[in-house]
Structure 1
């Protein structure tokens, strides 16, 4: 089984949204991938998904229930086939948590509409439209992410 991890700052918006989108695509395609999400910060630890993120997911047909924010640790990074970060800042933090990890990538590098190195927007500071934009970017990147995690797991 392949292991996929999504990471953002607090694990209440972008990474749990990515986790929900990935789960549905994994189920629909019958893939053997385990998926989780975490934050690089512990400031939101234990909190549910942001209510605006939940509403956006529900409108798009995803189930946001059951999420509690968690901070990522070195063991999570090392045990994953692919760790997908929302922003370059998160990549840097993850590399400090697990020095030498070669499985850390940037989410929008898999989005065909984005230039490599483009951060995923942080909708937390804005309105509902930002959450929809985030959802659209996540969906656009997800096929490539799922393909990449399977390829890495096959090389293991």
Structure 2
């Protein structure tokens, strides 16, 4: 485990699901008093959106729920790089395709073990087959609200997992 504990959230283009989760988790760790011990970033599995800001609908959903700040507008999409495994303690996949891609990219078995589905941390116990989050980019504003609810559902579980890891 590194100091600080480092988390990367990964989706396809790094403009919808992963930046939304990054920003929600960042606020949750701040609220938990762990912001100085945890760093959160995000990336995509493709280069399709590299350099682009978060989707405006992502930002609207976040702001609509009171998540705001300069880091929302500062986001720029990037691609997850294999070398990052050495610098991350937890890599959270938005869907099963990302999970498989990240596990294939992992250079070692230890690095593969760092990859988890974001929704696997939902205390409601989302079945494994249902843990993938649909890409809201293809939908309407309601799709972004669904993504927001899915991330929020898992956020406290991620915080508790990391809190446990930090105490060991």
**Is TM more than 0.5 here?**
yes
| 1:56 paired to 2:67 | no
Deviation, 1:69, is 0.2
Alpha carbons of structure 1 residues 78 and 153: separation in structure 2 relative to 1, 3 Å: farther
How many residues are matched? 155
| 1:88 paired to 2:96 | yes
What is the root-mean-square deviation in Å for CA atoms of aligned residues?
Answer: 1.4
Alignment of 1:105-116 (within 5 A): 105-111=116-122, 112=124, 114-116=126-128
Deviation by residue 1:117-136 (Cα, 9 ceiling, x = unmatched): 42012111000001001001
TM-score w.r.t. the length of structure 2 is 0.86
| 1:3 paired to 2:10 | no
Distance 1:149 1:79 in 2: 16
Secondary structure class of the residue paired with 1:65: helix
Deviation by residue 1:87-111 (Cα, 9 ceiling, x = unmatched): 1110111122223221000011112
Q: 1:30 aligns with which of 29, 33, 43?
A: 33
Q: Which runs of 4+ in 1 moved over 3 A?
A: 150-155
Alignment of 1:10-29 (within 5 A): 10-29=13-32
**Partner in structure 2 of residue 149 of structure 1:** 162
Deviation, 1:150, is 3.6
| 1:132 paired to 2:142 | no
Deviation, 1:152, is 3.7
Deviation, 1:141, is 0.2
